[in-house]
Amino acid sequence: MAVRAVRGAVQLERDESGHMEEQVGALLTAVLERNGLHTQDLISIWFTATPDLHSDFPAAAARKLGIVDVPLICAQELDIDGAMPRVVRVLAHIESDKPRADIAHVYLGAAAALRKDIAQ
């Protein structure tokens, strides 16, 4: 079994805790489903949020999905002029037999514009 990394992002419509929980939950669910993963395949998850998001920790959404025994960390994304606002990004380390080229990176909604080269 190899260690792989899977990326993803979602842009929130507004900075509200419930909305963040819903959108980050949808992102994590899509990452798991599109890669045929279960929570026991997760090693760790790193979340970043743009500086304009203050309502909650993205990791709280993972805990509410039942991801309770996986190390999670949140950090603030760089504050770059012209960057897309209200974005939560994820970098998940996983165990998978899939070749690196077969990992499905997930960019939902408007966040697909961030990585047109790898967005599924």
Give domain status of residue 120, yes or no: no
Cα–Cα dist 26/52, whole Å: 20
Structural domain boundaries, residue 33: 2-115
pLDDT value of residue 115: 74
Calculate the alpha carbon distances from 106 to 5, 12, 30, 54, 88 in Å: 12, 15, 7, 23, 12
Strand order in the sheet with 72-76: 72-76, 42-49, 87-96, 2-11, 106-108
Below-70 pLDDT ranges, the chain: 116-120
Domain count, the chain: 1
Give domain status of residue 92, yes or no: yes
Report the predicted TM-score, pTM, of the whole model to 2 decimal places. 0.94
Q: Check which CATH number belongs to the domain holding 34 and give it.
A: 3.30.1330.40
Give domain status of residue 91, yes or no: yes
Give domain status of residue 70, yes or no: yes
